[in-house]
Amino acid sequence: MRTALNSPFTPGSDSVPEVWAGRTAQLSDWRDVLRPRRQAGLAERGRTILGEAGLGKSTLVRRIARDAAAAGDWVTPQLRIPAGADPLKMIAAALLKLADQAGLAASREQRIKDTLGRVQAVAVSGLSLTLRQHDGPELYTVLTQLLVEIGRAAIARGNVVVLIHVDEVQNITDEKALSQLLIALGDALVHEEPIAAPGGVTVLRSLPIAVYLTGLPDFADTAGSRIGATFARRFKTTTLSAIDDEDLASAVQPFVIEGWPVADDLGGISRIRMDPDAAAAITEICRGEPFLFQLAGEQAWYAGTGDVISRAEAIKGWRAVRAEAVIHVERILERLPKRESDFLRAMADLPAKERTLTRIATDMGLAKATDAGPTSQRLDSVRGIIERGKPYTFRHRAVEAYLTSDWPDVE
């Protein structure tokens, strides 16, 4: 029996969905590059994961954090920054919890006691804590000092990586707060700790600290303009795009082959299967959007109660949330500057083979193609909505479908 209580699809939830699709490159980066290098004391940049709403940035890092915690790593909760909030207070509070986990609160070393006291003051006052109110170093230095102490404790514990996840970073609009936060995290990432190697030799190693920042694409411009090249040197930025249909098909294939296990009314396990045509419909409908994929799967699950999800149920479920799919894409378009929105609409109005910068600029009413160049560059490298080529193509397939077809209507 299919019910709301046993659906494995979770659209828009902060929990990691049971039905996972794609993002293998980013998961592999954590598992095969970032974690092992940090664990071994090798330098490695932090990660900035950006993208438009609905592409699963936060969910991706929550999945990484869950896997890290299962491996015994020390992990902060998802530190979502609300608009207008003081990020330094949130980071300070999270670091104090990590310090407790690392056993620093029980330390008798005066250096550590002093550091904890200063960070506790930051957790209470944040940016309002100025040098006139508090004798000591700048706020970012205080946070870095505690991160270093936590990193040292992780080294002593062995095989432990400290993972910090700061979400909705585009909401940090205070220039001083953003600068202090990024420098504090960046200084901890590049800190080198002297350790004794075999043979009595002293060597330097990086701390086992990994940092993930997630947010909307605008953050790359904001961070770059405020701390410049330092940000690029200390953080590697990835802009997410739509998930390939092959990855989506792989995610629903277990439903088609062996069925999804659910508890039955007799205390046993039954399986919910999916007709291959239903799986194909869900894969096609969502246009590579993780949020829409979870939404389509959930509504197909709710559209009936039997042990086989049919194509008709997949279509019925999608029609029930058509308006939500429209709003999802319209929000993406509405937050774009007018010039970028005009570019996308002009591009969408052209036949696929004629989508060149010259034709798009002409249809926008611009005198020459180079006038549209900066706009196309932002839509490609910053927002990840298009891909410049010969011809130009859409990377954000839900935006393309909305502008060029009857989607999200389906037959």
Looking at the fold, whether 276 and 367 belong to one and the same domain comes out as no
End-of-domain residue from the set 332, 347, 376: 332
Predicted pLDDT at 131: 41
Decide if 198 is inside a domain: yes
Looking at the fold, whether 228 and 165 belong to one and the same domain comes out as yes
Looking at the fold, whether 207 and 282 belong to one and the same domain comes out as no
52: Cα within 13 Å, side-chain hemisphere? 29
CATH number at residue 347: 1.10.10
This prediction has a pTM of: 0.90
* Residue 314 contacts residue 281 (beta carbons within 8 Å): yes
Decide if 219 is inside a domain: yes
Looking at the fold, whether 348 and 320 belong to one and the same domain comes out as no
Decide if 6 is inside a domain: no
Decide if 40 is inside a domain: yes
User: At residue 117, what is the residue type?
Assistant: G
Q: C-alpha angle 35/48/51, rounded to 5°?
A: 130
CA atoms of 411 and 396, how far apart (whole Å): 22
Predicted pLDDT at 129: 62
Looking at the fold, whether 71 and 149 belong to one and the same domain comes out as yes
68-126 tens-digit pLDDT: 999 999 999 999 999 988 899 999 999 999 999 989 887 788 888 888 888 888 888 77
Looking at the fold, whether 321 and 265 belong to one and the same domain comes out as yes
User: Is the predicted pLDDT of residue 136 greater than 60, yes or no?
Assistant: no
In 3D space, the residue among 323, 90, 71, 104 whose CA is nearest the CA of residue 210 turns out to be 71
Decide if 8 is inside a domain: no
C-alpha dihedral sign at 121, 126, 132, 133: negative
CA atoms of 189 and 151, how far apart (whole Å): 10
Predicted pLDDT at 155: 93
Q: DSSP class of residue 221?
A: H
Looking at the fold, whether 98 and 38 belong to one and the same domain comes out as yes
Looking at the fold, whether 97 and 220 belong to one and the same domain comes out as yes
Looking at the fold, whether 112 and 164 belong to one and the same domain comes out as yes
User: At residue 41, what is the residue type?
Assistant: G
Looking at the fold, whether 386 and 366 belong to one and the same domain comes out as yes
Looking at the fold, whether 78 and 214 belong to one and the same domain comes out as yes
Looking at the fold, whether 86 and 229 belong to one and the same domain comes out as yes
**Domain extent for 221:** 24-239
Decide if 73 is inside a domain: yes
Reduced to 3 states, what is the DSSP secondary structure of residue 46? Answer: strand
Residue 308 — φ and ψ, nearest 5°?
A: -130, 125
374-394 tens-digit pLDDT: 999 999 999 999 999 999 999
User: Is the predicted pLDDT of residue 199 greater than 80, yes or no?
Assistant: no
Decide if 7 is inside a domain: no
Q: Where are the alpha helices (DSSP H) in 127-174?
A: 139-157
